[in-house]
Amino acid sequence: MNNNNVRNRSTLRIFSGSAHPKLAKDIAKKVGVRVTAMESKKFSNKELRVELNENIRSHNIYIIQTAGRGRNPNDDFMELMLFINACRLASA
């Protein structure tokens, strides 16, 4: 493996939305990285909150989030939008 790939992999972060964590784990395994920790909470009033559990400043971020599969696609899309915003605010 060339040194460039190793350096690029060290800044790579894969996050999983709540819709399909197994898909994110499979992709991360294939790439040779782990799924980065994050937290998604749904409150009793149906509001969502997304929280990053690691410093991702200046990292390359990939978010794996599907829609459907018996779930509300609006919730999945909103979770994705909140997650993108959290990454942007964290200077990813």
pLDDT in tens, the chain (92 residues): 455 554 577 889 999 999 999 999 999 999 999 999 888 888 999 898 999 988 999 899 999 999 877 888 998 999 999 999 999 999 88
User: Comparing C-alpha atoms, which of 77, 68, 58, 64 is closest to residue 38?
Assistant: 64
CATH number, domain containing residue 26 = 3.40.50.2020
Give exposure, 27-64, as e/b (b: 16+ Cβ within 10 Å). Answer: ebeeeeeebbebebeeeeeeeeebebeeebeebebbbb
- Range of 26's domain? 3-89
Q: Chain centroid to CA 35: how far?
A: 8
Q: pTM of the prediction?
A: 0.82
Number of domains forming the structure of the chain: 1
The C-alpha atoms of residue 25 and residue 29 are separated, in whole angstroms, by: 6
